[in-house]
């Protein structure tokens, strides 16, 4: 079921399947909405309870007017779980959602049974990336958000998958029309100022699963390998035919690995 609730002072769009022996919380990436998970969630067995939300500034969820900081978004996730009476869950984050997932696992360590990062890293923005984000803010202020979406979303897929994923790309772009430009700007500020959580993940003593795409322009293979070595206790999966969206490009592999990770036989 889908519903709205006020969490940490903002309206939050929530999807919750209600029932299930184990709970998975799904957090989408930048310029996405909770609907990005629909196809993947359909592959999961009914015994898994699935909660997904539109993160602050995205989709139908509200926003802090100045900045949707990563800690603020992590607090919203925790409030949603309180509202849904979830004591413990695995948390899954795609790209930007991974930054929020890491922070939630850090701030609410006892609540989360494990952490799954899909095409995400714990690193803070570089100075160069912050400049890129400043330029993006200016473009959005000049009514270019739609252009940014139409340019950015196809680049998240491996070139070999573009024609096959045309319908999904169109769907993501269309759903991006729900974004409030000021909410996206507030989120960009949060991305620019986010903490570096590598040291936390190095000390993390709960299950950690990492997915990387061999054709991901946002996390090139060399950087993925560095992170794999830094987090040697984690399980790392390299998807041969994926860009930045492995759960859409190679969903069966991702689903099987995820179910194994949470202790369900496949």
pLDDT (0 to 100) of residue 65: 80
Q: What is the mean pLDDT of residues 57-70?
A: 95
Q: Where are the domains of the chain?
A: 2-261
pLDDT band at 266 (very low <50, low <70, confident <90, very high): low
Average pLDDT of span 53-59? 98
| Residues 27-54 pLDDT 10s | 999 999 999 999 999 999 999 999 999 9
CATH of 2-261, picked from 3.40.50.1820, 3.40.228.10, 3.30.300.30, 3.40.50.720, is: 3.40.50.1820
Q: Looking at the whole model, is its pTM more than 0.95? A: yes
What's the angle, vertex CA 10, arms to CA 151 and CA 62, rounded to 5? 20
Tokens of 80: 């949603």
47 class by beta-carbon count within 10 Å (0-12 exposed, 13-18 middle, 19+ buried): exposed
C-alpha 45/C-alpha 201 separation (Å) is: 29
pLDDT in tens, 123-177: 999 999 999 999 999 999 999 999 999 999 999 999 999 999 999 999 999 999 9
């Amino acid at each position: 079921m889908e519903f709205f609730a006020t969490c940490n002072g903002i309206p939050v769009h929530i999807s919750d399947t209600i029932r299930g022996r184990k709970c998975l919380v799904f957090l989408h990436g930048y310029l996405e909405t909770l609907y990005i998970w629909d196809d993947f969630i359909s592959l999961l067995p009914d015994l898994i309870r699935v909660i997904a939300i539109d993160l602050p500034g995205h989709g139908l969820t509200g926003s802090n007017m100045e900045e949707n900081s990563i800690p603020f978004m992590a607090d919203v996730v925790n409030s949603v779980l309180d509202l849904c009476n979830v004591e413990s869950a695995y948390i899954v984050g795609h790209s930007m959602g991974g930054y929020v997932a890491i922070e939630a696992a850090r701030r609410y360590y006892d609540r989360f049974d494990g952490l799954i990062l899909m095409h995400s890293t714990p690193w803070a923005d570089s100075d160069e990336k912050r400049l890129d984000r400043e330029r993006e803010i200016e473009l959005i202020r000049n009514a270019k958000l739609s252009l940014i979406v139409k340019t950015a979303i196809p680049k998240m897929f491996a070139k070999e998958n573009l024609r096959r994923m045309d319908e999904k790309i169109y769907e993501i772009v269309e759903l991006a029309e729900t974004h409030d430009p000021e909410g996206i700007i507030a989120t960009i500020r949060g991305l620019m100022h986010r903490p570096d959580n590598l040291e936390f993940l190095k000390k993390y003593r709960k299950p950690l699963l990492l997915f990387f795409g061999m054709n991901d322009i946002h996390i090139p293979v060399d950087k993925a390998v560095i992170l794999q070595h830094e987090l040697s206790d984690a399980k790392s999966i390299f998807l041969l035919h994926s860009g930045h969206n492995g759960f859409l490009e190679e969903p069966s592999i991702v689903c099987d690995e995820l179910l194994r990770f949470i202790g369900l036989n496949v």
